[in-house]
Amino acid sequence: MASSRRPAVHQVLATLGYGDAIGHEVLGIQRALRGAGFESDIFVETADPRVEPLTRDYRELIDACHPDNLLLHHFSIGSKASRTAYAMPDRMALIYHNITPPEYFVGVHRTLARQCFRGRRELRAYIDRCDLALGDSEFNRQDLEQLGFPRTDVLPVVPDFSHLEEPPQRFVAEQFDDEWTNILFVGRVIANKKIEDVIRYFHAYHSAYNSRSRLLIVGVFSLFERYMAALHHLVAELGADHVHFTGHVSDGELVAYYEVADLFLCASEHEGFCVPIVEAFYKQIPVLAYAATAVPATMDGAGVLFDSKDPQYVAALMDAILSNDALQDQVVEGQTQAVRRLQAKDFSATLLGFVDRILSGPRACPPRIAFDFWGQFDAAQELEELRLDRPSLYQALPVQR
């Protein structure tokens, strides 16, 4: 007799952050699934304390698993959560946010370089494991296809702009809302974002066109202190005054930075989507961005793209936009139309269509795991308990290869 039980659709990922693009998407997926009547939880290895109550520990997957269930696995870098999800009997769909090439981090964060290398290698193990592999952009879908995934599609990113409706933080507005020109970049201060190029472009513009201008770099830089130190050295070497690093900001502060900005400048060389560009579109700030990886597709014919890294060339583009009000209006209008096209996409219907397609279709190959996988899982859990509850004993354990 067939079971009348409705499958659950859970999500699993290495970490759930607060206020970042993946975090917004994960919570949006959960809302759509629960709204459609599915049981749906979020299983993680780690989470920001502000969103941790919304999650469950990845080890609880063992109790929640079922062959009829579907796991939506957000893959970024390899993790214990990923490997545990791989071993479950549930069906699986991969949601791929891309993995930054490890060479960007070799000189600034060796651990992350190793994680990105291993994540890229580990990703291939899911080629036969997944019923469907979804990129959150066409660029990412093509990456999956090139890796050998036979069934791919696009689950579009539809940014949630609700956090941009917060009242602007007054202190930021008062500090930077003046007669000066504010050049803005929003995003993690990380090597693939090429913040050094943003600084060089600003310095060229500031020197040649507008000495009453400043650069606001809004984004977290924790764990990348070596890269941050190199950026400060570059600022000092260039004598590039009026460069401000804000670090992580609240929603109210982010809104204020967007509202005082005159131009959004992006030099990133590797993006799977780049949500801040679309946020700048939404806040009606002209965007000038380097045409690399997913950025042209994200901009969808709007904004202004450049393909030369010559600081004088980019500075001239900056001045052409900032000194011409009619051109600014034209750019902003194009960006507004791009946001409308993005918002017109029915994210929930697309997601639920993929879920129905997977649950009603043939299964992928069952997971292939090492004979001692669960023994290793139990041993790792015992070691973690020792590390947390009896740290001195954990430190006294012999080093294992």
Share of the chain above pLDDT 90, in %: 70
pTM, entire model? 0.86
168-343 topology per CATH: Rossmann fold (3.40.50)
The torsion of the CA quartet 16, 18, 21, 27, rounded to 10 degrees, works out to 60
Burial of 251 (0-12, 13-18, 19+ CB in 10 A): middle
Can you give the pLDDT at residue 371? 66
Q: Is the pLDDT of residue 3 over 60?
A: no
User: Which tokens go with 32?
Assistant: 């759509």
| SS3 call for 76 | coil
Q: What residue type is assigned to position 247 of the chain?
A: G
Mean of per-residue pLDDT scores for the chain: 91
172: left (phi over 0), alpha (psi -120 to 50) or beta: alpha
Contacts with 161 (C-beta within 8 Å, 6 or more apart), sequence order? 279, 282
User: Which tokens go with 387?
Assistant: 């590390």
Q: Is the pLDDT of residue 401 over 60?
A: no
Can you give the pLDDT at residue 127? 92
| SS3 call for 109 | coil
9-158+346-369 topology per CATH: Rossmann fold (3.40.50)
Distance of CA 188 to the CA centre of its chain: 9
Q: ∠379-383-389 over CA atoms, to 5°?
A: 140
User: Which tokens go with 100?
Assistant: 């930054």
Q: What residue type is assigned to position 129 of the chain?
A: R
Summarised one tens digit per residue, pLDDT across range 31-45 is 999 999 999 999 999
Confidence label for 1 from pLDDT (cuts 50, 70 and 90): very low
> 168-343: same fold as 9-158+346-369?
yes
Summarised one tens digit per residue, pLDDT across range 344-396 is 999 999 999 999 999 999 888 777 777 676 567 667 666 766 677 777 766 77
Summarised one tens digit per residue, pLDDT across range 81-100 is 888 899 999 999 999 999 99
| Residue closest to 95 by CA, chosen among 54, 139, 155 | 155
User: Which tokens go with 376?
Assistant: 């290793």
| SS3 call for 125 | helix
| Residue closest to 203 by CA, chosen among 214, 216, 190, 195 | 214
For strands 42-47 and 304-306, give the pairing. Answer: unpaired
Share of the chain above pLDDT 70, in %: 94
Confidence label for 19 from pLDDT (cuts 50, 70 and 90): confident
Domain ranges of the chain: 9-158+346-369, 168-343
d(C-alpha 25, C-alpha 76), whole Å: 14
Summarised one tens digit per residue, pLDDT across range 187-238 is 999 999 999 999 999 999 999 999 999 999 999 887 788 999 999 999 999 9
Please give the radius of gyration of the chain, using alpha carbons only, rounded to the nearest integer: 23
Q: For tokens 């290793």, what's the residue?
A: 376
Can you give the pLDDT at residue 400? 61
For strands 9-16 and 42-47, give the pairing. Answer: parallel
Can you give the pLDDT at residue 393? 66
Of residues 334 and 384, which shows the higher confidence score? 334
